[in-house]
Amino acid sequence: MSTEKTFKLDGKSIPFQDGDTIMDAALRAGEYIPHLCHNPEFAPHGSCRVCIVDVNGRHMSACTLPAAEGLEVDNSSERIMEQRRNILQMLFVEGNHVCPGCEKSGACQLQAVAYYTRMLSPHYTHFFPKRSVDASHPDIAIDFNRCILCELCVRASRDVDKKNVFSITGRGLESRLVINSASGKLGNSALSASDKAVSVCPVGAILPKHVGYDQPIGDRLYDNKPISVVGDVASANNQQENAND
């Protein structure tokens, strides 16, 4: 008799190991759960809520909920997709996401998840916040209008690059990303183009310079296959790095 531990995701048995979250086990089994602040290389953060699933009748974040035997997880019902669309619509109106003018268009995880959940409009009134663009660094620009406060750059710079270039300050609607440098500008920070923090942004907020629009429409990350097949920006980057080795 098999002693493998499993839970049910949309009726399928998903094996898991001790310490796995629902997200860990699902992604390992090839099952996509939408996510933005989650990256398997970092500890769960649980802030974006896009990974919301229904677990035995309760709405939970798949990236933080430990897997356990007997769980019945709904990842794809219309009710769950509607919840995710609401969360995405709020993310879109809280910032200034002008997809046609963004060089990350076609390779943006926020845009790809919105397509996946069949979000057709922002629904809510746009906040149109006044935010800046910092192009003071010779190799990297940051557009704060597109930041969704996922803290991936914060975690990557702190835990991998050991530089602490980024922090989040403020609370609630006042929360914002800041640069840790004497002037508060990227150009005076320790960030370099090869840093992990530059490659983890799931939206078009942190952008390497000199390579903008180099992918023609039709060849961009999510042009031909949906995010449920291609995976998140981080895993696509890793596959690209492995292919280049």
Distance, in Å, from the CA atom of 115 to the CA atom of 20, rounded to the nearest integer, reads: 28
35 binding partner (options ligand SF4, ligand FES, none; Cβ < 5 to 8 Å by kind): ligand FES
- Residue 201's binding partner among ligand FES, ligand SF4, none (Cβ under 5 to 8 angstroms by kind) is ligand SF4
Tell which one of 9, 14, 24, 38 touches ligand FES (CB under 6 A). Answer: 38
String marking each residue 79-108 x if it binds ligand FES according to CB under 6 A: ------------------------------
Provide, rounded to whole angstroms, the least separation between the CB of residue 136 and ligand FES.
Answer: 30
Answer yes or no whether residue 155 interacts with ligand FES by CB under 6 A: no
**Cβ atoms of 183 and 145 closer than 8 Å:** no
Per partner kind, with CB cut-offs from 5 to 8 A, the member of ligand FES, ligand SF4, none near residue 161 is: none
Of the candidates 107, 150, 98, 148, the one whose C-alpha atom is nearest the C-alpha of residue 126 is 98
Judged by beta carbon distances under 5 to 8 A according to partner kind, the member of ligand SF4, ligand FES, none in contact with residue 49 is ligand FES
* Distant-in-sequence, close-in-space partners of 1: CB < 8 Å, separation ≥ 6: none
Rounded CA-CA distance 166/137 in Å is 14
Across 19-50, b (16+ Cβ under 10 Å) vs e yields ebbbbbbbbeeebbbbbbbbbbebebbbbbbb
Cβ proximity to ligand SF4: between 98 and 120 the closer is 98
Cβ 33 to ligand FES, closest distance in Å? Answer: 8
CB 22 → ligand FES: shortest distance, Å? 10
> Of 10 and 32, which has the nearer Cβ to ligand FES?
32
SS3 (DSSP) at 237: helix
Show contacts with ligand FES in window 39-68 (CB under 6 A): 46-51, 61, 63
In the bound state with ligand FES, the residue whose beta carbon lies nearer, of 62 and 165, is 62
Cβ atoms within 10 Å, residue 201: 23
- Of 102, 101, 99, 104, nearest in space to 119 by CA: 99
Instruction: Report what 27 binds from ligand FES, ligand SF4, none; CB cut-off 5-8 Å by kind.
Output: none
**Stretch in the footprint of ligand FES (CB under 6 A) among 33-41, 163-171, 184-192, 211-219:** 33-41
From the list ligand SF4, ligand FES, none, partner contacted by residue 83 (C-beta under 5 to 8 A by kind): none
H or E element in which residue 227 lies: helix 227-230
If 0-12 CB within 10 Å is exposed, 13-18 middle and 19+ buried, where does residue 18 land? Answer: exposed
Residue owning tokens 């898991």:
16
